[in-house]
Amino acid sequence: MLKNYFKIAWRNLSKNRVYSVINVAGLAIGVAAVVLLFSLIHFELSYDTFHEKSDRIYRIVRTNTYADGNVEHTSGAPLAMVDALPQDIPQFEKVVPLCGTIDPQITVLGNDAKSTNTSVKFNEEKQGICAGPEFFDVFDYQWLIGTPQVLKEPNVVVLTKKYANKYFGNYTDAVGKYVKVNNVVTMRVAGILEDVPLNTDFPVNILFSYESKRKNPATFGFGTFDNWGSTSSMDNIYVLMPKGFSAENANKLLKTFGQKHYKDDTNDKKEHAIVALSTVHYDDRYGNFSDRVVSKNKLIGVALVGVLIILMACINFINISTAIASKRAKEVGVRKTLGSANRQLVSQFMIETVVVVGIAIGLGLALASMALPLLTQLFDFPSEARPFSEPILWVFVGVLFFVINSLSGIYPASILSSFSPLDAFRQKAKTNWTGRVSLRQGLIVFQFTIALVMIFGTIVNFQQMEFISKMDLGFKKTGVYTLAMDVEYRNRYDLFRNRLKQLSEVEAVSFSSDEPSSQNNWQVNFSYDNSPKDAPFNSDLKLADGDYAATYGLKIIAGNPYLVSDTLRKIIVNETILKKLNVKNPELAIGKMVRVGGWEPAPIVAVVKDFQVGSARDAIRPVMIAKLEKYHWRSGIKITSANLTETVAKIEKIYSEVFPEVVFNGNFYEDKLEKYYKTEQQLGLLYRIASLLSVFIACLGVFGLVTFVAEQRVKEIGIRKVLGATVSHITLMISKDFIKLVVVSMFIAFPVAYYLMKQWLDDFVYRTTIEWWYFIATGIIALVITFASVSYQSIRAALTNPVKSLKSE
């Protein structure tokens, strides 16, 4: 019997080839999209879940509440906390101090620790972490050679197999050899780890002993281990909670701990708390060492897109299956007359669905496999990942197979099996009406509502990105080439500057801690005009030389910037600082003394027009600029030449001659700024792809339905043509019903789309507005696409010879 079901199913699918192809194509595209999105979501949700004790691992974070009401969050912990915490809160089972990400330059020395050969060197971005043996009591990374105890020594490093092979050719020969870190500290390779999983936020490919940080604090970060006032986001503390010990109890202990160690005379209130390891990859308030935060809201949005796409494909199947049901009414009548039960008919029609879905899923998986590199390029999905080898993916495919069959098969099968033999032979079987509104029409409206929301979202996202690209940032982002510098060789900075200025293509050169807008923002307390108290807010601090404003195009609105040759400390402030201090005239601030942190008071020599130090999501912050050469890690080179490739090659040549020990590592500043909006760009790309898929799937369904309608009304069309109807009249007659459904979809989609995109735009301080023409453009796009989908079959039907249509009854 089962074999017979499949045989009949195949015959029916072959007989209705056009509808079968439409169903398979729509489902295959939907399956491919859903499988890819599931792979992405599963990967992101799996971060650091492989640690056996992950449910008891927490990170200590801090909230700073300022006197002016502003609140800031940081994962950074002062180094003094590292030794104080185990003593004051012994309830924690383990306290794990970490320092990362170091972005080290690794110079391979080989067997000779005193080698001066700098020919083999690597700049390792987003790598490098300092940890002690206790790290491996909490986190699970596998050792190949050595034990965690080697990390008790200073100046030792542990490498993963991959990185040991990279540096020494064979990881088995790496132990006992030497590397130099940042051209400062020589370190011995003391152990080898198995290559780390892709789904971790801890950059343990290069693992320095925490004792190395204690011995060389300047090489591995900032501050000292007796300092409570300095905090870097590089320095984190993780704790292992005892079983049964609640987070609430831990936070109470940390509150008491903070009250003991922090002074009450500062301009902010500091409170520590613990957050679960399971939040580290998703909470952008605190960030993580991998510098890759994916919000849960984004993942929910991705999942919703996947659900909607597959739902649209299922709707196509339902619509087309029920539409062609009347063609099989007589078949049902004959079967029932010969004794077939409803159960047997349902089984027959469900088998047909299973065959279609099975073919579609097979094609969908093939499409997903081919499109996997695209997922890597567009959404940071690791190229090394192998989602099709994951058992969870095949479980998902099985569930998907069941769900699609249930959604797509049960309703059409129940409709087909419900025909009575008498109505079937009289051709009175109704397949699509419930009350006065067609279920099929409702499903089409639902499909186009989804498509319209996607199209509208794409337009808003594009306009916001355009707005950001054109907004006045307060500095020049184009034509500036930025380089990483090594402060160990800052005595050669002037030589490098002078060599560069000999190039006609170079207009200005500046050395600084970071660019005007960067993710390396320092915050300091300060007092103004010899006040004994700190201002009620902190300021961002940029450490830069006297050519900083000229290089990046900052606008001086009062006073004059200090010179490159100045040796005495001088301060430049922005407008926002003065506004928050109620200084209305910038000229009045010139000459006022400012004490920054623990520095001696220094005069304000210039006021700079406000510039954006963060992204468009952030309000303008108070900023100070001062000179401190030992933190000038970056250089900015203003280029006037149109031949950028040739100019960069000249810069690299000079850099390599002046700093042969250092890896050349540069990029254009505008390229770096674009990375601020990577999430938004990826979201926009997802909208565009989802819009195309949803429109394509919807049009596939409409095309199938129009084909069926044209077949059903072929004699009517023939009679109308005989009576004088033109091709345009017949095309409009068939098209108008579908156009009406799209218009109804607009009334539903536009309020939903407006609300969703308004919520998204609210995340930006600087944002575009939702204009009336966005709705018009979305509607026109939908109508044009729908009309194009309907017109082909409509015109084809209208052009059919009426004699051929009417010659037989």
Which tokens sit at 280?
């580290």
pLDDT for the residue 307: 87
- The span from the CA of 82 to the CA of 60, in Å, is 11
Residue 509 reports pLDDT greater than 80 = yes
DSSP 383: T
- The span from the CA of 382 to the CA of 375, in Å, is 9
Residue 800 reports pLDDT greater than 70 = no
Instruction: Report CA Rg, the chain.
Output: 34
What is the residue-wise DSSP string for 121-151? Answer: EEE-TT--EEE-TTHHHHS---EEES-GGGG
What number of H helices and E strands is found in the chain?
23, 27
Q: Report pLDDT digits (tens) over 321-352.
A: 766 655 665 666 666 565 566 666 666 677 77
Q: Report pLDDT digits (tens) over 239-250.
A: 999 998 999 999
pLDDT for the residue 216: 84
Pairing of strands 623-626, 593-596: unpaired
More confident residue, 745 or 160: 160
Residue 436: count other Cβ atoms within 10 Å of its Cβ.
5
The domain 52-96+231-280 is classified under which CATH number: 1.10.101, 3.30.70, 3.40.50, 3.30.420? Answer: 3.30.70
Q: Is 175 helix (H, G, I), strand (E, B) or coil?
A: coil
Angle, helices 678-712/714-722, rounded to nearest 10 degrees: 70
Residues of the chain with CATH 3.30.70: 52-96+231-280
pLDDT for the residue 434: 37
691 band by pLDDT with thresholds 50, 70 and 90: confident
- The span from the CA of 222 to the CA of 213, in Å, is 10
Q: What's the average model confidence in pLDDT over 541-566?
A: 93
pLDDT for the residue 431: 47
- The span from the CA of 439 to the CA of 431, in Å, is 9
Q: What is the mean pLDDT of the chain?
A: 84
Q: What's the average model confidence in pLDDT over 416-424?
A: 58
Angle at 144 between CA 141 and CA 148, to 5 degrees: 60
Q: Which residues of 574-599 are buried (b: 16+ CB within 10 A; e: fewer)?
A: bbbbbebbebeebeebbebebbbeee
Residue 87 reports pLDDT greater than 80 = yes
Which tokens sit at 307?
């659900």
Q: What's the average model confidence in pLDDT over 556-580?
A: 92
- The span from the CA of 461 to the CA of 456, in Å, is 9
Q: Report pLDDT digits (tens) over 112-140.
A: 999 988 889 999 988 999 999 999 999 99
Q: What's the average model confidence in pLDDT over 233-239?
A: 93
Choose the most confident range, by mean pLDDT, from 201-205, 380-384, 764-768.
201-205
- The span from the CA of 513 to the CA of 635, in Å, is 8
Pairing of strands 156-160, 185-193: parallel
Q: Which residue has 């095949």 as its token pair?
A: 394
- The span from the CA of 573 to the CA of 596, in Å, is 12
- The span from the CA of 676 to the CA of 766, in Å, is 14
pLDDT for the residue 11: 61
DSSP 77: -
144 band by pLDDT with thresholds 50, 70 and 90: very high
Residue 449, CA distances (Å) to 734, 757, 780 in order: 21, 15, 14
DSSP 679: H
- The span from the CA of 636 to the CA of 552, in Å, is 8
454 band by pLDDT with thresholds 50, 70 and 90: confident
Q: What's the average model confidence in pLDDT over 585-607?
A: 93
Angle at 597 between CA 592 and CA 601, to 5 degrees: 30
Q: Report pLDDT digits (tens) over 470-483.
A: 888 888 888 899 99
- The span from the CA of 161 to the CA of 141, in Å, is 12
pLDDT-wise least confident of 27-31, 103-107, 272-276, 579-583: 27-31
pLDDT for the residue 435: 37
Q: What's the average model confidence in pLDDT over 574-588?
A: 94
More confident residue, 713 or 424: 713
Q: Report pLDDT digits (tens) over 423-435.
A: 555 555 454 433 3
More confident residue, 383 or 243: 243
Whether the link from the prior residue into 786 is cis, omega within 30° of 0, is no
682 band by pLDDT with thresholds 50, 70 and 90: confident
Which tokens sit at 165?
């092979």
806 band by pLDDT with thresholds 50, 70 and 90: low
pLDDT for the residue 764: 84
Residue 181 reports pLDDT greater than 60 = yes
318 band by pLDDT with thresholds 50, 70 and 90: confident
Q: What's the average model confidence in pLDDT over 445-457?
A: 86
pLDDT for the residue 751: 94
Q: What's the average model confidence in pLDDT over 565-572?
A: 90
Residue 788 reports pLDDT greater than 50 = yes
Express as a percent the part of the chain with pLDDT over 70: 84
Residue 273 reports pLDDT greater than 60 = yes
Q: Report pLDDT digits (tens) over 532-549.
A: 888 888 899 999 999 999
- The span from the CA of 664 to the CA of 662, in Å, is 6
Question: What's this model's pTM, rounded to 2 decimal places?
Answer: 0.85
